[in-house]
Structure 1
Amino acid sequence: MIVKEWCSFCGECAGVCPRNLIQVREYSLVFKEDECRDCDTCIKACPINALEKED
């Protein structure tokens, strides 16, 4: 997952992750990418489009 520089760390992505794989820490997001199933729920939930998949 790529977090763009304009991420506000609002926690919307963490709140919708069905597997609870995202944690909001002080000025950062921590992803458990090895357990992610690429459902894109977090990407769709971001109100400012600050998340995208890594190629």
Structure 2
Amino acid sequence: RIVHGKGLGSKNREPVLKHKLRSWLMQKDEVIAYAQAKPSDGGSGAVLVLLKT
């Protein structure tokens, strides 16, 4: 799980890290899949990542 936050403190209250993280994850060969976390795991402020072994 990667916690990037919801971006509530950023300019215009937009999630800057969320978009940059997802863009970065798409470029990595080690990443099989990723998805937004469940509310109990951080919801829209976190991403679950499945990595190759």
Which TM-score tier does this pair reach, normalised by the shorter chain?
A: under 0.3
Relative contact order (C-alpha < 8 Å, sep 6+): which is higher? 1
Give the structure with the larger helix fraction. Answer: 2
Give the structure with the larger strand fraction. Answer: 2
Structure showing greater radius of gyration is: 2
